[in-house]
Amino acid sequence: MIDGRATSKAGHRTQKAAKPAGTSVRVTSEAARSGRRHPVWAAAQAGDDGALILVPDPVDYIYRSERMRGVRNPFAFQIVGSSMSPALEHGDQVVINPALLVRPGVDCVFIQQQRDGTFLALVKRLLRQTADNWHVRQYDPRRDFDLAKKKWPRAHVVAEIRRGGL
């Protein structure tokens, strides 16, 4: 079927079907055809603890990778600061899959919503969780600490890292 013609069990090829005059076939990526892109949110450093301010108004859109196809409400943002270096560097873009379950040993974004509609976010490595806390690690400077779930109620897995925002 390399040339589009079927082969019978005996190995005989069928006649090539004539294409109606004036028709053309455009080959484009699935992402371009379906518009399957997801937003990149604006991010700015909010404090010495590595917190970011995320604004859910897209500053850009990026095409979804194969593994993000079909994911509902993914988003991306750039890492600002060096608290997670060398795992995540300043300028790296992280893609978040809200459907993935958080688990120990993965980098996550911990989010709290502000009254003005913006979000505070911390990107850290999840070490473990209890009913009340996320126990996390940052790398620069290296320290392990707890985030109260009452203050940081949402956690999402970093599904992809695009180095240098590429």
The pTM assigned to this predicted structure is 0.74
Please check whether residue 155 is in contact with residue 111, taking contact to mean a CB–CB distance below 8 angstroms.
Answer: yes
Q: DSSP string covering 71-137, please?
A: -SS-EEEE--SSTTTTTS-TT-EEEEETTSPP-TTSEEEEEEE-TTS-EEEEEEEEEEE-SSEEEEE
Q: What tens digit of pLDDT does each residue of 56-102 get?
A: 888 889 988 988 988 888 999 999 999 999 999 999 999 999 999 99
**Could you give phi then psi for residue 33, rounded to 5 degrees?**
-65, -45
